[in-house]
Structure 1
Amino acid sequence: MKPLKLPKEQRDMIIDNIRAHFEAERGETIGHLAADNLLEFFLQELGPTIYNSALGDCRTLVGQRMQAMEEDIYALEWSKRS
């Protein structure tokens, strides 16, 4: 899997949120670079797990939709009359 790249605006917003979280929850002030490094660490560590979980959800949804389509197709078949 290729590394996850976030758009600059989104990345900056998340970095601001990380900095605000550290200030509010821990009473610590961290700089932009430290927050960016923390974001990058979490993207590398959590990204693949979250991505794979999302793919699993997609597989489940597609399977359900395919089952429903198959049932609809069977409902359209003409039955032979005896």
Structure 2
Amino acid sequence: MTIELSKEVRADAIASVQRFFKENMEEPIGNIAAGALLGFFLEEIGPSIYNKAVADAQERLLQRISELDFEVHEDEFEYWKKYEAQTKARKYVSK
């Protein structure tokens, strides 16, 4: 799967690469070279980051699914228990 960036995000990423080189390297990097470096990182390292993000999201979803029974569980066959409790309460009130 190819990771595609919008024009705006790509422009911001290239500007960030250029700033990084300007502030941390001995030589600045041009717009074309920064774009090529960004393209390399997206193609070579991007899939690893993407796969890790998918695995993290999948793990979180599996945790949430395993908790689903506890969050939405309803006790079954409770009508008669409630009915008997109401009946007992009425008997004590009427005495």
1:78 aligns with 2:65: no
Larger Rg: 2
| TM-score, scaled relative to structure 2 | 0.74
Aligned to 1:44: 43
Where in structure 2 are there 5+ consecutive unaligned residues?
82-95
For 1:36-61, what per-residue CA distance to the aligned partner results, in whole angstroms no more than 9, with x for missing partners? Answer: 00000000111110111011111111
Aligned-residue offset at 1:79: 6.0
State how 1:11-50 maps to structure 2 within 5 Å. 11-50=10-49
Identity over aligned pairs, percent: 34
1:65 aligns with 2:64: yes
| TM-score, scaled relative to structure 1 | 0.85
Aligned partners of 1:24, 1:72: CA distance in 2, in Å? 51
Aligned partners of 2:77, 2:58: CA distance in 1, in Å? 32
For 1:52-79, what per-residue CA distance to the aligned partner results, in whole angstroms no more than 9, with x for missing partners? Answer: 1011111111111111112234x41326
Q: Which amino acid aligns with 2:47?
A: P
For 1:10-34, what per-residue CA distance to the aligned partner results, in whole angstroms no more than 9, with x for missing partners? Answer: 1011101101111110131211000
Aligned-partner SS, 1:39:
helix
